[in-house]
Every structure is written in C-alpha cells, then in structure tokens.
Structure 1
C-alpha cells in the first residue's frame, strides 16, 4: 500500500451509524448456529472498529500537531462526546460473545484474555455513566489545551513547556534557575484552574464508580485498565519493595550526581541535569537523528530494518517541536494502513534520541504483529506495552556513539541514573492517586500537602526550596497521565523492572536476550501478562526479591 501520512483522507465517522451496525451485529451473533459462523460475523466487527479507530487516530494526531487548527479542534470535541458511546456499544457487543454457547470455540480463536477483559468491561460502563464520561473527556481536553498552549515568557521570547527544556537543563546553573523560575511562575498563575479541573475530575470519576457499584474509583480504574492478572494488593506490595530497595539505591545515585555537579545535595534545579558541562545532546539536526535511527535499526536486526524503512517511507513521524503543538510523545496505530505512527517534540536534548528508542519500541512491536487478523491478540495492557519500549532503550545502547559522539558514555551513565531515578517517582505518582481516590473529598491544598509528604518518602534526596511551585507540592500538576490516564503511570515502573531484567540479560548474552524480546513482542497480548513473562524467561515484578536482585546487579556495576 503506497501512502504518506500527510495525504491520508479523513472523514468524520458517524457514531449513530456505528451504534446501528453494532445492534445489527448483535442480532446476527445471537442468531448464529456455530462458533465458526460467529467468528465470520466477528470479522465484520473488525472492519467497523478499524474504520472508526483509523479516523479517530488521524484526527487525534492532526489535532495534537496544531492545537489552534479549528477543524481538528472541532473533531477532537466530537470524539470527546462519542468515544464513551463507542466504548459502551463495543462492550455490549463483546458481552454477546462472552455469553456465547460457542465460547469454547471462540476462545481458541480470540484467546482467553479477551473473555476476562470482556468481564471487566461489563462492570466498567453503562448507559447511565456516559454523560459523566463525556464530561471527563472534556475536562481532560481542557487540561491538555492549557498545558499545550502555555505561554512562558523567557528572555524576551515566548515558549511552550516543551521548548523550555533546553533552558531548564542548560549547563549554566543560573540559566537553569531563571528558566525554572519562569516555568514555576507560569504554573503558579494557572494552578487555580488546574486545581479546579482536577477537583471536578476526581468527583466525576468517583461518581462514575458509585453509579457502577464500586466502592471507589480505584476499583473501577483497575477494571478499565484491564488489570486481569493482578490487583491493588500486588501493586501495594510492589510499592513497598521500591521504597525498601530502590529509594536508598537512588539516594546513592543522587549523592554521586550531586558530587559530580559540585553540590552538597541535589536541588530541584538539577532535576534534569547530570553533568556540569551539560547533559549529552545529540550531535545532529532533527533530520540527521532520524537518519541515524534508520541506520541503527538497519543494523540491529532484519526485523527492525524492515520496520524502520516502512516508517520512513510512509512518513509516519511527526517529531519536530513547534509552537501550538501538544506536549508529550506517543506511538499510536492506524489499523486500516497497518501502520504505527510516532508523535513527539524534538527540542535538542537527549530526549530526542529517547523517542527513536522508546517510541520506536512501541511501534516496532505493533509492526511485528500487524498481520494478525485477531485484533484481540494485540489489545495490550500498558504494563506489557511499556516493556517493548523501555527494553528497546537498552537494546540500542551499542549505537549511541552515532547520536552522541564522544559523549556516548556520559549518555549511558545519565540513562541508567535517569531510568533508576524514575522508579521511585513513578511509584509515588501511583500512591498519590490511590490516596486521592480513596479520599475524594480532599481539598486542592490537601492534595498538594499529600504530594509533599510523599516526596519525603520517595525523593528525600531532593531539595525543592529553590522552586516555589514544586516546594508547595505542585509538581504533580505537570504530569499529564494523572489527568488523562489515571493509574497508568505504575505501568511504566512495572515495565521498567522487566526492561532492567532484559538489561542484565543482554549484558550476559545479547543475542539470547534479543531473541526472547522478539518472542515477547510476538506474543503481544495473546496470554495473561504474568504468563507471558514466564514464557520468555522473565520474572514478574510482584515476586518478592525481584526488585532487590536488580538493585544488587546495578549496584555491582555502578559502585564498583
């Protein structure tokens, strides 16, 4: 199929027609006389949902590419309204399959995970909560637009948050302090609005949970996240292990970094800074970074070569930073074109290379399984999806000289420190959300106070006194996952522990580790998360001793 993303046609999908067709498919499924007939009917559902998903993702990408584009802003508003209706209709359809008398046959085609997820979905939505879900989407879009269109005055110019990164991580400490003050001042100016948005979100989500018969939104979120092989107690036990083993380990890394920077203790000003001469930066232009990425994947494996050539040929990247472009980065998928798409904001930092490793890890996995007609096999839980991306960051270490020149070893040191430092932070985000949704009547001030207390448990090695807004306990307000995809963030931490197992493995036998990584990519979501890890020779993060083992292995290399 010959196409370029920029030329893809877009037509708004009709939600009324979608719901009507779903109702017809349900009738056909209920009248079917065999599992084979049901699966043939199910192929019509694939066509319907793929058409809708493709249109939605094209609109989503183009809206993010320019938040001032009035046409796609209206399309975004439309999808905020109709996605809950789509979810509800899809769940009703899936319930028919889940209750089928031919379930045994369908399970051989769709896999067991589909049926467990259908059971979770059935608890997660009904007609009554649709208006609340629509309101929730509108609140998320309001937050996203506020962040994306931030106008931060700095040195006579106006920047958004993403384009401030080169200044907030500048090698000159005074430049960093001034730039971070500008960011802090902007957040101080909008925190009343962010507080209002989040307060409404918490109350909205709690009301949804109550209407659906849950005690708290936490329980509902676990269902919606398809946590089908572990629960809050497993995550709580995991958080305890992070506190016990990773927090002290990261404290030692922070001492090492502070010493390198000539400080007694890390300040908030140094959050993203690792070297006095500045963090290692990619040596090429954005175009050259992409070209180096293509060269790297050409050498890594035949599969990655084919993947990257496909991405470049069809122009499936939008990674250059621009004003009015939404913050963040992600990989999404266009099913009708069997095409992953990568969105990011290059800003001249090492994060640009992380896009070529992390987001390409997601996209590579989607590409590897693109020809599987059973889409249920690829409905990944986020704790699985993030393994593909985070592990790719380690598998590509051997090519970092191409991006960072003579500072590639500095990049390794920074990457390991950054990946390790993230784990306590990501776990803290998760505990914060558990507390917030267990206590939905908390005031905005109490939420900030809760965050400050958690900072003392998870990041005691950082002094926030130089940044007014962070010091007030407002750091979480820049974490879009808390607003847009609640309870997602711990998935990064779980996946990071698995990726670190791959790192230990590849240090011992790179070829064997890569073969098992590729096997995991191909398994996709065909089995339960915990089962798939065991199948490819990995341990689940919930097992006692796994976190300690990684800390011991990393410590032996770093503090030798």
Structure 2
C-alpha cells in the first residue's frame, strides 16, 4: 500500500481511554504470566494503531503546515498525546509491579522494564496540562520556522531553500545570503525568546511537580537514558574539548587555505572548496533512482528494503514552501513501514537524506517482523549509529551522485562530521546551563551561548552581525526547542560511526556484517553491551576518544 493510500482517521480519545482501562483491569486480574502476556499482545495491537495514526497525522501536517485539516489534527494530537502517554504509563505500571514480573521479563526483556521505570518517573496526571502547553509551544516554534519567507535577489525563499546560497562558491553571495538569514531571525528572535522562556519554565514546573530539583534529570528520564547519566556525559564532553576541538582547529586552518581567505568568517564555515561545495548531479528523481541502484548493489537486505520504500512511495523529500524544516524517519508499526521526510534543496544535504535517513529506515525495515515490540524501542544514541554509519557505508557509490567530484565529497563529509562533534557537545552543554538556571533572561542565555562558542568553536567570527554575533545562532536549532537533551545522541553516535569508518576501510565486508548485527539487535540489550557485542568501543571508555581522534586525523590529512 502506497503512503498516499493509507487511510487517516482521528482517534477518539474517549474510546482510547476505554480500551486502555480495559487492558489495565485485565492485566491486573491475570491469573498467570502466560495470561498476562496474551493480554500484552492486545496492548501491542492498540499501541500500534494509535502510534501509526499519530505519526501519519504529524507527517501529513509537516509536508504542508498550511493545510488546515492536518493543522487541526496536529493541534488535536498535541492536546491528546500527554493523555495517551499517561494511559501508557498506567498500563505499564501494572507490568512493572506484576506478581509475574519474572515471566514477563523473560518475554519482553530487562531493558523494557528499565525503560518502564524511567518513563513512570516522567509523567503524572498533575502535569498533563503542562505537557499539553509544552506541545503547543513547540508547534508554535515549528510553524514560525516553517513559514519563514526570506527575500533574496528578487525571489522569496524559506530557510531550507536559501541554504544553497549560504554554501555557494561566491563569497559575497554567501555573505548576503547569511545576512538575509540573520535579518529574518531578527524579526522573530523576540518571539522565539518568549517561546523558549515559556518552555524552560514549563519544563521546570513539570520537573518540580514530579519531585526533581531541575528539568535536567527529568529530561534524561524522558530520553530514556537507561545506560548512562549526567556524570558520563560531562566526562565525554571534557574528552571532546581536549581531543576534537584542537583537531577541528587544524581542519579549519587547512580549509581557510583551501578556499583562499585571510580569515574564516561565519559565512565561510560551511564551505570546503574555493569553487564551492560539491553538489549532487541530476534532478531529484534521478537522485532517488541512483539511490535505489546504490542500495540494490550494497547488499541483498538493502536491495529488498529500497524496493519496498520506492514501490510504496514512503518518501516525501522535495523542499517546498510551508513545509516543516529538517528531515526525519518515522516508523508505522501497524503497516510495518518506515517513512522518510526531508527537504531537498540542491546541496549535498540531499544525499545525506538518502544515506542518513535511509540508515534509520533500513534498521526499522530489517526488524519489522519483531514480535516483541519493546525490542524496537531503541534509545536515540543507538538509533543514530544506524543512520550515521550508513553515511560511511555508502561512500563507494558517491560517484553516482557527485560524478568527478566524489573525492571532494568524501573530504567535505569527513571534515564536516569531525567538525560537528564539538558543536553537538556545545548544544548539549548549553541546555544543561539553561535548565540548571531556569530564571536566566533571554539576554543571559545568548551570552551563555557566546561563551560556549569560545570553547567549542574558537575560530567562529561573526563580525558585527546583529543576530548571530549576539548569541542567537542556537535559535535555529529545532532540537533545543522540541527535543531537549536529544542532541548529545548525535555526538555519541557519530564517534561510534567513525569506528565503523575505520573498520570498513580495513575490511568492508566484516564491518558490514557487524553493522547488520547491530541493526538486528535493535533494543534487546543495553547500549554499551550491544556495542561490545558487535566489536565497538564505548564512547565513555577511557582512551576511546583520543584513539579515535588519532585515526580520524590521519583520515582527514592523508
């Protein structure tokens, strides 16, 4: 069934409540572990149906935020989702406290019960109104960003479509494009400050109501940090400052020479070659066709996956006005199908969609027949390994997308991946500062960002830009608004994916076999256990980062 043919019908929250309450009562009265597990299978059916409905509604809203029908559905989902999450919590509490827990642990795993414990500490009836308000605030931010209309050289662009000018070969054009970008944010920065201030205070109020000192711990629980906590993250960031920041400084100096400027400015930092960054060749349709050919050649598993995705049109990747920014993959459990959302804009980022988001989707596809749905509840630091590693595994096919500039793409992608690591840590540390100090003013938050820039991105020079030079850059990062404490997952996954890069350069087939094994492990075990099982080092282990930096430095400067 093609995605356009999948029906959408708004769920009735009263009916959903009735079904959950029936499941809760039946599970409480189960006479054996076997009976309780049979009841749990009915929960799988209900959950799969609701989750799929929500994701379809959100996806169709995101592809056109001006569509009034799906805008209304998005509002309804935002309002009812906290109610559903609380019903889920009440149902799973029955499992957590079950007299047949040992039996249930054997069936759905110890990871599932740890996740239930963290989720149960993240919600209560008392905070449902706050959660609904939080969802509305995030949607307000998304709509502002999606509806951006930026005048540039006689045309009107959204933020995604402007990007090709921000990374082009003409430095003056780049500078003007960044100025147009900055000027837009100046018109909305006060409103974004207001939204974020309300979000910080809202989330802090949720945390206080649940007995936490600050939102930080609640944020970790909401992200289901079942294998590490703040102490490990702080140690990890320290290692990144010591090892990756100096490497990025070396890369920036080489890039400065490569593009022929006296000093890198903020409008130069995403440009890697004097003649501009390599761009994909061909139309979007040709790019998608080349992607299908690539995955058909990569492995039998990826061949089956990509044909399923293309035949059923589970992609919406063209950039359009009023389309939400960014890219993501969602999984529809009812239909055992991944769906991919993106914004093609004529830059190399279009190919990253074919690799990164398809990495997520491929993992979802190869585990689609898993009967124990808890085994699919992957935490994000693991999920992002699947996507970021796929970016490297597909290097051998980049000629299809970049022609004679494939080597330039390799160099750009590798340097960009390395440079991202400190930035990702900066986003994470910024959020810790903000939620540790919820009464900061908007001005103080921007000042905190600028201080972090000095540590993590010391070469960044914003000249006299009125928005970016005053600490506003973080306002474009949707994760800070909508997905607090998610961003460090990208960084953790990135350094693991780099291990796969080193491995595949030595033995591609062996690296691929272990990657496929990791995909199939899904969420059956805890994070560091899974890494060890497939021969990867934990990012938290002493020496992992310094060793990796040595290997990546050789890669970057060979």
C-alpha distance in 1 between matches for 2:557 and 2:402: 24
C-alpha distance in 1 between matches for 2:45 and 2:184: 46
Q: Which residue, 536, 543, 556 being the options, matches 1:545? A: 543
* Equivalent pair of 1:15/1:82 in contact (CA under 8 Å): yes
* Equivalent pair of 1:269/1:467 in contact (CA under 8 Å): no
Deviation, structure 1 residue 557:
2.9
Deviation, structure 1 residue 468:
2.7
1:463 corresponding residue in structure 2:
461
* Equivalent pair of 1:171/1:278 in contact (CA under 8 Å): yes
Q: What are the residue-to-residue correspondences of 1:38-437 with 2, within 5 Å?
A: 38-437=36-435
C-alpha distance in 2 between matches for 1:395 and 1:301: 11
Deviation, structure 1 residue 535:
0.7
Pairwise CA RMSD:
0.7
- The yes-or-no answer on 1:453 pairing with 2:451 is yes
Deviation, structure 1 residue 238:
0.1
C-alpha distance in 2 between matches for 1:466 and 1:536: 49
Deviations 1:369-399 (A, max 9, x none): 0001111000010000000000000000000
2:16 corresponding residue in structure 1:
18
C-alpha distance in 2 between matches for 1:496 and 1:449: 28
Deviation, structure 1 residue 530:
1.1
C-alpha distance in 2 between matches for 1:468 and 1:114: 48
- The yes-or-no answer on 1:8 pairing with 2:6 is yes
* Structure 1 length-normalised TM: 0.99
Deviation, structure 1 residue 243:
0.1
Deviation, structure 1 residue 461:
1.4
C-alpha distance in 2 between matches for 1:558 and 1:221: 35
C-alpha distance in 2 between matches for 1:556 and 1:166: 30
C-alpha distance in 2 between matches for 1:137 and 1:490: 22
C-alpha distance in 1 between matches for 2:473 and 2:160: 16
* Equivalent pair of 1:171/1:279 in contact (CA under 8 Å): yes
SS at match of 1:51: helix
* Equivalent pair of 2:415/2:556 in contact (CA under 8 Å): no
Deviation, structure 1 residue 463:
1.0
How many residue pairs end up in the alignment? 558
SS at match of 2:72: helix
2:503 corresponding residue in structure 1:
505
1:517 corresponding residue in structure 2:
515
Mean CA deviation greater in 466-475 or 422-431: 466-475
C-alpha distance in 1 between matches for 2:107 and 2:364: 20
Deviation, structure 1 residue 18:
1.1
- The yes-or-no answer on 1:481 pairing with 2:479 is yes
Deviation, structure 1 residue 466:
5.3
Deviations 1:77-132 (A, max 9, x none): 00110000010000110110011111111111111111001111111100000000
* Equivalent pair of 2:142/2:324 in contact (CA under 8 Å): yes
* Equivalent pair of 1:269/1:466 in contact (CA under 8 Å): no
Deviations 1:267-306 (A, max 9, x none): 1011221111110011111001100000000000000000
Deviations 1:185-224 (A, max 9, x none): 0001110000000000000000000000001100001111
C-alpha distance in 2 between matches for 1:417 and 1:366: 29
- The yes-or-no answer on 1:27 pairing with 2:25 is yes
Deviation, structure 1 residue 324:
0.8
Deviation, structure 1 residue 20:
1.3
C-alpha distance in 1 between matches for 2:156 and 2:19: 49
